[in-house]
Amino acid sequence: MEIKVLRNVLEANDAIAAENRRVLKDRGVYTLNLIASPGSGKTTLLERTLDALKGEFRMAVVEGDIAGSADAERIGRHGVPVVQINTGGDCHLNANMVRSALQNLPLEGLQLLFVENVGNLVCPAGFDIGEDAKVVILSVAEGDDKPEKYPLIFQQASAMVLNKIDLMPMVDFDIEKARRSARTTHPDLPIFELSARTGEGLEGWLDWVRESQRRYC
Cβ atoms of 210 and 53 within 8 Å: the answer is: yes
Q: What is the pLDDT of residues 21-33, one digit of tens each?
A: 999 999 999 999 9
Task: Give SS3 for 107.
Answer: coil
pLDDT at 1: 54
**Entry pTM:** 0.95
In angstroms, the CA 36 to CA 4 distance is: 29
Confidence of residue 7 (pLDDT cuts 50, 70, 90): confident
- Given a cut of 70, is residue 4 above it in pLDDT? no
Confidence of residue 2 (pLDDT cuts 50, 70, 90): low
Calculate Rg over the CA atoms of the chain: 17
Task: Give SS3 for 164.
Answer: coil
CATH number of the domain where residue 93 is located: 3.40.50.300
Task: Specify the number of domains making up the chain.
Answer: 1
Task: Give SS3 for 84.
Answer: strand
pLDDT at 207: 98
Q: What is the pLDDT of residues 93-146, one digit of tens each?
A: 999 999 999 999 999 999 999 999 999 999 999 999 999 999 999 999 999 999
Mean pLDDT of 142-162: 97
In angstroms, the CA 25 to CA 17 distance is: 12
pLDDT at 217: 77
Q: What is the pLDDT of residues 65-102, one digit of tens each?
A: 999 999 999 999 999 999 999 999 899 999 999 999 99
Task: Give SS3 for 133.
Answer: strand
pLDDT higher for 9 or 143?
A: 143
What's CA 99's distance to the chain center, in Å? 17
pLDDT at 115: 98
CB proximity list for 118: less than 8 A, separation 6 or greater: 64, 65, 66, 87, 90, 91, 92, 93, 124
Domain, as residue range, for 72: 2-216
In angstroms, the CA 113 to CA 130 distance is: 11
Average pLDDT, the chain: 95
Amino acid identity of 25?
K
